[in-house]
Structure 1
Amino acid sequence: MQRPSYREHPHRELLLRELHARPSEPLQAPLRLSQMAVLSGEKPEHVDGDREHLARLCARKGGSAPAEDAKHHVTSFGGLFLKWERHTEFCSYTFYRRAHFNAPFADPVIEEVPQDWLADLPGLVLSALHIAILPRDLEMPDVEDISLRHFEGNPVVGNLVAGGKARVWADFRMHTDHFTRFLVQDNGLDRRHAGRTVQRLIEMNTYRALALMALPIAQEISPRLRTIDEGLADISARMADTDDQTSDADLLGRLSQLSADIESLAARTSYRFAATRAYYGLVQQRLQDLRMSRMDGLLTLDGFLARRLGPAMATCESAAERQEALAQRATRVGSLLRARVEVGLEHQNRDLLDSMNERAKVQLKLQETVEGLSVVAISYYAIGLAGYVFKAAEKSISLFDATVATGITAPLIVALVWYGLRRAKRAVVTRRS
């Protein structure tokens, strides 16, 4: 068939491949499995580093190497199978071998992997799990005996899963080899169904560990959130107290520091809290997918996780919500404080304008006073000059009295000076406007 002529979205093939990514492998009892989830980062160089490390093991053990852009790879090392998966921030390695065994957790398959290669794993191991699948016809002891034989005497939880076609026991504890343990007994599973059941158990355990990563962060930031809460409350109380003498500048400085602290915490924790919500949702989904029912005398897996994981998730959710609430409170307090500062500035501006108006009035009065003095001074000198003229005329004209002439012309000179100054002032004002 020919390729169609229509144009395709560039991500179509990638999105279609994602539907078939990370398939479960067919499994059959008796089988032992060791799985590790390694936090190695989500940058491209981290992904490449994981793939290169896997390729070194494949070359060393004679398995097929992963593809250049592979995020999922399955290979075999002479009966020891390896399934590798790359996720957003972690990768998982699952080693399993189908063979008869007497002790489910003695000599686990992880011991067949080179120890120096394990020591050089890029990233940090967050979850490590042994699973042993027992055949259907094996007679199982009671719960106390299972605990003593396989779980070092720890309290055991368990369920019927896959609609009653398998039984699962676990203690959710780290044992001396730093692995946790799940014991599974086949009770009528086919190979595909067994593979899906084991994969769901692995994912439930891995996502449980990833979800809990936010708990230490939530516990760490809780005192800082309390301090920020108290700081915002103190600022609000000082703003409401009319007798408080703390300046708005000081309050605004404190508020800015608290807001910066909130943003710093959010930048550090928002991704982790969001990831925890997503991982916890996956844990709950996997528990549903296992189709569990109760075994007599045992606390169930979902009951155990609800009692232990549920409060931890509530703590993380509470810290995230409290952090968001504090950010919103800081925004509201900041808006109120800025409004108060603006009102204060408006009052200052009003007082400044009133003061300027008063000064303008005083300057106007002074100017008018100076204008009056100017009229007097100019008139005085003008009358003096006119007096000299009249005295000269008195000597040359008979019956001319200089004193009388000066007295008669003095009011006229004063009027002319006053009129001239007014005209000059009006001309200056008109030119400015």
Structure 2
Amino acid sequence: MLPPDAALRQELHNELHARPTGRIRLPALVLQVAVLNEGISRERELEHLRRLSSQGELHLDQLAGTFLRLRLSGGTLKWERHTEFTSYTLVQSLPQAAPDGNLAGGVIVDPLWLKNIPGRTIAAVELVMLVGEVEPPAKPLQQAQEWFGGQPVVASMLGRNGHSCAVTDFRLRPDGFERIVVVAPPTTSETRAGRIAARLLELEAYRMMALLGWPVAKALREMLNAAEQSLAAITQEMQASSRSDQELLDELKALAAQIEHAMARYGYRFAASAAYQRIVASRLAELREAPISGTQTIGEFLQRRFAPAMATVEYTAGRLNALSQRIERAGALLRTRVDIALEQQSQQLLAKLTRGQELQFQLQRTVEGLSIAAISYYVVGLLYYMAKAAKAGGLSVQPELLTGLAIPGVVGGIWWLTRKIHHRLIAEHSGGNSGASRVAEVTRLTPPNQGPQG
């Protein structure tokens, strides 16, 4: 009926159902423990899940995904593995206990099992879901406040029509859990109760994960201040030219290495905090809060406390990136200065080489002149002895006169021959490259209307 599926079609399609929302029958208690899973393998988490009664037959392939729901006697346990944390969510009926008391005694799993969950706790929420009237809004608020022992709370009506009320104080209790109380009418469906619980629990887990970037941002403050001051000092010394470019370049390289190390080490943390912050904002929007007179909404409280911390993280990440770019620009400017200085040195060296070649050319012209004179002297001497020999042989010649008359011709002929040889050498080397001979370079420096003088 259809062409073959793409390689990832099934996986991408089923991602919509990767973490289905549970069904919760009210009244209920929902416990969620979120732990950082760095260094914690799925095998170790599987071993811990097997310690639950009736779960000894669990297999590793059941934890190959990111979600698993286990049925227990009296409730369910949901295991979810995320990139940086793993959450364990227990759903059971609400145990009998005083509203402001400890509910741990009525949990259907061994408290030691909760304590020994592998990982480090980042969030733990005790969500109490009650049945009650939501009109007027003060009524569910009063019912929920009984679970907080008179502590100040924040509260919101949830949903466009105010279908439920959520109340919390965002405080850690002696048992390590935060407490959230939801009051919903008897007509609330199990799926709606599940969605309310999922949004509130995810809101708290992702809020804590987003805040992991805040201590990092605070710790980097002094380092960034020092780095910015160092960069300002380097650029000022570049402008004043009070130190050598090589020293400034070495300092700039060390500063760049420090900043790049910080970006490599903490860049992921800042990016992850920004992603978690977006999820928190999304979950708050899904709650569709409405205020209750006399109290802050959950969203207002978070924005007043959570937003400044996230602004600090965002500002530090931007500051780190901006400092890296400024160092890169300063380095480019300094390298340009070094390149210009090297070019000037090269030009000075080339000028010295050119001057040396000119002196060598002048010396060569002098040597060639002396060579022509010397050769001419010996040739004229030979002619003189030849003339004397001819006179001794009976010819009527005057050696001195003949020799004197031959001198111009001899000198001119030797000069012409030297010139001919000079041009032939130039012709042989004129097709060369940058490795051309010294003769070609000397000829290039020779004026076109002159040649070596004899």
For the aligned pair, the TM-score class normalised by the smaller chain equals: 0.7 to 0.9
Inter-partner Cα distance in structure 2 for 1:404 and 1:68 = 122
The 3-state SS of whatever aligns with 1:397 is coil
Equivalent residue for 1:77? 72
Inter-partner Cα distance in structure 2 for 1:270 and 1:312 = 17
Inter-partner Cα distance in structure 2 for 1:5 and 1:427 = 83
1:126 and 2:125 correspond: no
Equivalent residue for 2:403? 406
Inter-partner Cα distance in structure 1 for 2:368 and 2:115 = 99
Equivalent residue for 1:220? 219
Which of residues 303, 306, 310 is equivalent to 2:307? 310
The 3-state SS of whatever aligns with 1:133 is strand
Once the two structures are superposed, the pairs formed by residues 257-296 of structure 1 within 5 Å of their partners are: 257-296=254-293
Equivalent residue for 2:58? 65
1:167 and 2:162 correspond: no
Q: CA offsets per residue over residues 127-185 of structure 1, 9 Å max, x none?
A: 111122233279x99989977x7446653222222443333222222222222221223
Inter-partner Cα distance in structure 1 for 2:255 and 2:106 = 50
Superposition deviation, residue 280 in structure 1: 1.1
Equivalent residue for 1:102? 97
Superposition deviation, residue 214 in structure 1: 0.8
Structure 2: any 5+ residue segments left out of the alignment? Answer: 431-454
Would you say the 8 A contact 2:270–2:317 is kept in 1? yes
Amino acid at match of 2:92: R
Which of residues 80, 83, 86 is equivalent to 1:88? 83
Structure 1: any 5+ residue segments left out of the alignment? Answer: none
Aligned residues: 422
Superposition deviation, residue 253 in structure 1: 2.8
Q: CA offsets per residue over residues 315-370 of structure 1, 9 Å max, x none?
A: 11111111222232233333333333333333333333333332222221111111
Would you say the 8 A contact 2:213–2:269 is kept in 1? yes
Q: CA offsets per residue over residues 27-48 of structure 1, 9 Å max, x none?
A: 233322221112214xxx9563
Would you say the 8 A contact 1:71–1:85 is kept in 2? yes
Amino acid at match of 2:332: S
Question: For residues 289 and 398 of structure 1, do their structure 2 counterparts lie closer, same or farther at Cα, with a shift above 3 Å needed?
Answer: closer
Superposition deviation, residue 218 in structure 1: 1.3
Amino acid at match of 1:71: T
TM-score by length of 1: 0.86
Amino acid at match of 1:78: S
Inter-partner Cα distance in structure 2 for 1:26 and 1:64 = 25
Equivalent residue for 1:201? 200
Inter-partner Cα distance in structure 1 for 2:57 and 2:291 = 42
% identity of equivalent residues: 35
Inter-partner Cα distance in structure 2 for 1:31 and 1:171 = 19
Inter-partner Cα distance in structure 2 for 1:83 and 1:63 = 16
Equivalent residue for 2:449? none
Would you say the 8 A contact 2:29–2:129 is kept in 1? yes
Equivalent residue for 1:250? 247
Inter-partner Cα distance in structure 1 for 2:319 and 2:109 = 46
Inter-partner Cα distance in structure 1 for 2:165 and 2:142 = 16
The 3-state SS of whatever aligns with 2:51 is helix
The 3-state SS of whatever aligns with 2:380 is helix
Equivalent residue for 2:360? 363
Moved runs in structure 1, 4+ residues, more than 6 A? 140-147
Inter-partner Cα distance in structure 2 for 1:229 and 1:144 = 53
TM-score by length of 2: 0.82
